[in-house]
Structure 1
Amino acid sequence: MRESSAAPAASVVRRAIDWHIQLESSAGADHDRIRTQIARWCAEREAHALAWARIARLTGEFDDMVRQLPEPSASLDILGRAEREVDRRRAMKLMLGGLAIGGAGLWFARPRLPWQADYVTGTGEQRHLRLDDGTSIMLNTDSALNVAFTPDERRLILKSGEIMIESGPDTGSPHHRPLRLSCRHGMCEALGTRFSVRDEATYSQLSVSEGRVALDPLGAARRILERGETVRFDGTTSTSVTRPVLDPDAWSRGMLAVRDIRLARFLKELARYRHGVVGCDERIADLRLSGVFQLDDQARLLRHLERTLPIRIVSRTRWWVRAEPA
């Protein structure tokens, strides 16, 4: 079947949203019945699968798509094409806002448009930048950044994703200009330092590798972070993370370094660097692992998981991987 080049019709989008509402409001046998109906609906046409993939992406459920579609043999190929289409079309407004479904208005957030950011990375891509002031920046997978330098301030705006910053000397400026990073939940000011910030939508996370950083979280008091400290802030509170399960620096070296992390959480993290679906059977979701894993050879990484944990990796297509009990 040839890949679709057109966005789903409004009626198809409405139907996908309606399916999502039904699925979320159902339970027991009704929930299973709706899941089966969605699977069949996605298998009927590419436009159906594409609309469902977009709903799933916007609601943060793409990783669980196959669990919602329990007949993968009927729709895996079409879902793979739909996911590629989603990635290509991330510059489009993916959903119609304010569609009235059953008398209730359902609004979806407008996605980030890549051309509205100065620097972007795609899924699995990392990018190193050297700014005019000497500041070194590394953007992680699926990130967007704006740079707004003025005579009085060096301002960076993290629109989405994750960034590592090593502040530059700014020797070309006649006077000191503070280096500040804004994100959706606050602002960080470098005090001669190296630090990372991650946007998790519902919260942001700041980790200091060298020097100090002044954090001004929205809705909370300013605090100074020293080397080795990590803080999560969500617009209301800021909380220290004493033992992060993910090394906040490792991704900048092409690795995932984890400590006593749940398998489900690990696979969710791995999914950030892959196109398609990475699922985890609930029966093994609470298995724990620690170690350092190279991101540039994910096939080898998954084989290592099979050797060290009582699991098997099922890969039906390049777009669909799932961990199941051995």
Structure 2
Amino acid sequence: MHYYSGFVSIGNNVYPLSGKENPLNWQDWYHFDWREVKNLSKYIEPYIGPYLKNIQLMEDDYFKTTIWIDLQGNLIYCEFNYPSKINIPLTVIEQIETSLKANGKVKVTPIGTPRNDMYYVQSCVFVDLEQLQSRLYHPVAPSWNDDIAIQLDNVFPTATYYADYLNRRSYVSFYSGMFNYTDGSTETQGNIYISGTGEAAFTLSFINVTDRDIILDLGQLTVRMDEPGYTYRPRISSISINGGPRLDINSRTAVVENDGGVVSIIFYFDDILDMSGNYYNTYPTAYKLSFYYGNHNIFEHVIDERYDYDVCDASSITWYREGYIMFRYMYNKNKVGMFYNKTTDTYFY
């Protein structure tokens, strides 16, 4: 092993060509298909890929393997050169050499009459480390095939109605059972049901359960609310990512890092349900709230939260500048078992 400024050079201590040097330039007597040599990179990349994670690479960073090939096309010796900032164990370098020698067959063809005093041809195999890193670890779009778990963390107002005005709302009609939609339900697929008018916000935490970073294109998120015979599409007024400032949702992305990485996003609605008429005489409705990423309802992946109000909670429900909003949520029972440990009563990802 030789350490230079910025790179490492490694070669096997056993040099099989000792005393067998070509007396002439091999290029004048033999040739081979360069594409076959280039394809040898597939026997190198799987071994070095794991060591490129979280490494800052540049476009001129390469893993260079100089190879010696005998005239029968067998790879007989290798020398490896790569940036010293990549910490590849020597045992892995040994595995690369073994893999190349086992699989690295290259057809060598004489130019004219073969010579008896020539022993090898020589070439180099290059792996573009920045490209390999991007291919392996560049954030990918969610497949929604259980690669993202979602928690509904908070449901809260963005502007509460002043307490001294609550009495003016006291004669909005309530009826028994209007808040306990989820009680006794046997359904397994969950949805949020929402009632009322005015401002609202809720927080979703997106948890990556894969070994690849996932990128969310927040511009693909849309909302719809449905009741029999009517669909309403409220606009997401703004968002906040990981506690940051309020932002417009268009042209925003969020990267959810691999292996349990979390991105928490607050979604704000300045007017989630704009109902005409007299607010004081508005009767509660039950709109089914769907939250779409493209054409996929991401609420189907919420795993563990439950918001349910009883008629006894009427005095403590959230009041808003233009009325009231209630969230009634039924969790996805078939998703919980995938991430929930009953013994420890904890969620895992």
- TM-score normalised to the size of structure 1? 0.21
- TM-score normalised to the size of structure 2? 0.20
- Whichever of the two has the greater Rg, that structure is 2
Structure number with the higher helix fraction is 1
